[in-house]
Structure formats: C-alpha cells, structure tokens
Amino acid sequence: MQLKRVLTLRTVVATSAGLTLASSSFVAATMVANFVLGDAAWIAILIGGALCFLAAACFSELNGMLPSAAGIRLYFSRAFNEQVSLVVSLLYMLIVVVGVVGVESFIISQVLHEAMPLVPPYAWIVAMLLLVTALNLRGVKMAGVFQDLVTYTLIALLVALGIFALYKTGFKLDAPLSPGGAVGIVNAVALGVFLFVGFEWVTPLVEEVTQTKQIYRGMMIALGILSVVYAIFTTAMTAAVPKDVLLAAPAPQLVLARTVLGGLGVSVMIVVILFTSMKTFNAGLISVSRFMYASAREHVLPAIFSKISMRYFTPWVAIITLFFIGLLAAAMTTLTKNYMVLVGLAAAMESIVYTMAGLAVISLRRREPGRERPYLIKGGYLVPGATVVVFAILAVAVLASEPTALLYMAGAFALAFVYVKTAVPHLKKKHEARRPAARRRRRPARAMVEVEGERGK
C-alpha cells in the first residue's frame, strides 16, 4: 500500500512555512535585532532569507531528480555513500524532532502557565500533541487543512499586528542602511538564517502532492512569505519595546501584544502562541512521519514503521512513535529548562545538512550528468558552491559558540554510527531472508495458473 496523492501547493507552502514559523523564532528574532544598531534588524533578516534561497534551490534540484519520501537519505546515498547518508539522515531526524518539540514545549508551557497557573505546564503539551496526533492519524488531508487554516491565519495576524504597532509608535526608518559594525551584522545575518531553518522538511511529502513541482515552488514561496513576516514583526517589536526587555522575555511577541493592545492583546497573543506551537507540531508530524515511513520501507528502520493505515493512508506507527518521542523531549526540556542548547543543536544540524545538499548537487551533476532534472539551478556550480561555503561557516560558528551543543552532537553522532554499523545490516539481512520465503509462497499460485492454462488448451 502506498501514500495517497492529495496535497496541493497551498498545503505545501503552509507546511514549509509552518515548521519554520514557530514560537521560538521570535526569541531568535530579538537576538538578531540585538546584534545591529537601531531598527536595522530587517536587513539581516532579508539577507538571511536570501541565503536560504540558495539551500532551497539545491533541495529543489535534488527533489526533482529523486522524488521520494526518503528525502535526504536518498540524495546523500546517491551522491556520497550509504553509510554517510544513513548517519546524517538519522541525526537529522532525531535532532530536528527533539529540538523543535523541546524548544516549542518550553516556550508554550511558560506562557500558558503564566496565564493559567493552576494548569500544570506539561498538561498543555500533552493535550496539543494528542490533538495533532489524532489529526495526523485521520489522514494527511485533514492534517493539511488544519495546517492551512492555522498557518495562513497566523501570518495574517502577525503582519496586521506588526503594521499596527509601527503605525501606533509613529515609526520611521532612521538611518536604515546603518546597521553598525561588520561583526554585528555578520552575527545578525548568521542568526537570521536560522529563522528559516526547517523549510526543506516539506520534501518528504513529495509522494503525496498532486504534482512534484509543487514541492520546490512551495519552498520558494514559503521563504518569501517568511522573509516579509519576520522583517515586519521584528521591526515592530524593536520599535515598540526596548531590546533589553524583549531579550529577557521567553515570548517577546507577547510583550509586543501587551504593549500595543493591553489586556486584549495578551489574550489574543496567548491563543496565537498556542496555535503556533500546534501548527509546528503538526508540520513536524506530517513531514518526519513520512521520512520514517520511507526509511523503514528501505529497511533502514524496523519494518513496522512502514505500515500504512488501510482506511486513511497514513503511516500510523510512525505517527504514534513520534507522539511518544515528542512527550519525552517535552518532559526533558520542561525539567531542565535548557532549551537554548537545543536551538544551537538544531541550527548546527540544519547547517550541516544544507552544506551537504550543496555538495550533493555538485556530486550528482558529475556522477549522473545525463539524468533528467525537472528543476535545474542556473549558473552552473555557483549556487551549490555558495551554499556549501556559507552554511559550512555557519555550522562551525554555531558549534564553536555552543560547546554543549557540540558535545551533544558528538554523542548523537556516536549513537547513529553504532546503529548504522550494527542494526541496519541486521534489518537488511532479515529482509533478504524473507524474500525467498515470499517467492516460494507465490510459486504455487503461478503453477496453478499454468495448469489451468494447459487445461484450457
């Protein structure tokens, strides 16, 4: 049984933007603003978005060549080798799930607990994960409708609040092209890039879209929308609220809403934050469950993860497993409150993957020059080469500035390497052992057909 092709461009854009536009993004946005002078944060954000277009172009070419829910596992296997692709893809899946769920869980639990202190913070996380898991189990169409509704409503509200805040404060650009020293702008751009990471997780949905080209179109549109939303809202936050106040808040978007609209703004923004996290969880479940399904289908993960619901055409085992992983990640982050390490870890992993995507484009052009490429990056090796250089520097910079993230990365790498060297060969051997038995079961049926054919003569 296969996945069902029901998703349109609208849902592709909502999923790509939805995983990226998280509650934690606004914490990073205030950090971007802190690196530059005055109101120049929008410059760093737009440059960061432009750099992410480089990575998006690389993913678009790779996805067009190899349209599979396996995503980067397949790209890197063809471009490099099987072991490299397995280690990187397993790290990618684990770190993104733990990082996204962990950071979102901490922020949403802090906000909601402050608003309703009688409700335990962890209870909110359990309720949200239960809801989005139920939606995903009922089919990608239903989960996609929820993603569309929440993502586009959220974008409209953020833009409207940002513009209203700029109007109310009588905002004018003061020296718009004077962001400060070179070190500050470089740091701001580096962090600005990480406002967009995760946009490429829409590629595992390629087996459920009505047209393959919707994947690369959706990524590009999502990056454009996000660039505008982040630029407007970050400028509004720094125009209405002092930067030091924003930096001290776990949810700076809530501070802006309180400053501009008072108690009503707080109530509205709490609802917005709640649905923002649900949307992020939902996008993660949609995308990562397909990646797990494809990995199990190719005998990289246990075969049980490749099971598809006969009624809803969803990888239900993968979805339920991710629910429990999400609960564990949320519990760990809520207890330790060490969510900034997860931000650095996820940012470094994404930069490594973007670097490898650029290298994969270069490698596959040399190895398979005659292969059809529905989306071909113009300009030869300029874009993939620039992607490699930019994101390799960013990965090193993040890991150098976050020693704890580097330590966690090394530990996760060791676990993934051991799994690839021990568990994956066992899974493949087990699959090979089943094949002769399956062929033997089919032979009597073929023999009976041949006998019936002889009788007919």
Q: Are 52 and 16 in contact (CB under 8 A)?
A: no
pLDDT in tens, 98-136: 777 777 777 777 777 777 777 787 888 888 888 888 888
| Other C-beta atoms lying within 10 Å of the C-beta of residue 371 | 11
| Other C-beta atoms lying within 10 Å of the C-beta of residue 131 | 14
Burial label for 138, CB within 10 Å (0-12, 13-18, 19+), is middle
**The most confident of 19-33, 118-132, 358-372, 442-456, by mean pLDDT:** 358-372
The Cα 426–Cα 433 span in angstroms is: 10
The pLDDT of residue 163 is above 90: yes
The pLDDT of residue 445 is above 50: no
147, two tokens: 């993603």
What's the maximum distance between 2 C-alpha atoms anywhere in the chain? 92
**259 CB-near residues (< 8 Å, 6+ apart):** 165, 240, 241, 265
> What pLDDT shows up at residue 147?
83
Q: Can you spell out the DSSP letters for 168-221?
A: HTT---SSTT----HHHHHHHHHHHHTTSTTGGGGGGGGGTBSSTHHHHHHHHH
Q: Are 45 and 231 in contact (CB under 8 A)?
A: yes
Q: 């530990």: which residue's tokens?
A: 411
440, two tokens: 């033997």
Q: Please, what are the domains in the chain?
A: 9-432 (1.20.1740.10)
**Which residue type is seen at 218?**
G
The Cα 30–Cα 253 span in angstroms is: 10
Task: Over range 309-327, report the average pLDDT.
Answer: 86
**The most confident of 30-39, 139-148, 225-234, 313-322, by mean pLDDT:** 225-234
Task: Over range 438-447, report the average pLDDT.
Answer: 51
CA 369 from centroid of its chain's CA atoms: 30
> What pLDDT shows up at residue 450?
44
48, two tokens: 């960061």
How many residues are given for the chain? 457
124, two tokens: 């909110």
Q: How confident is the model at residue 180 (pLDDT cuts 50, 70, 90)?
A: low
User: The whole model's pTM is what?
Assistant: 0.82
Per the prediction, the chain carries an average pLDDT of 83
> What pLDDT shows up at residue 103?
75
> What pLDDT shows up at residue 364?
94
**Which residue type is seen at 438?**
A
> What pLDDT shows up at residue 31?
84
> What pLDDT shows up at residue 430?
82
> What pLDDT shows up at residue 451?
40
Q: Are 12 and 201 in contact (CB under 8 A)?
A: no
**The most confident of 64-73, 412-421, 441-450, by mean pLDDT:** 412-421
Gyration radius of the chain's alpha carbons:
23
Q: How confident is the model at residue 296 (pLDDT cuts 50, 70, 90)?
A: confident
> What pLDDT shows up at residue 386?
94
Q: How confident is the model at residue 4 (pLDDT cuts 50, 70, 90)?
A: low
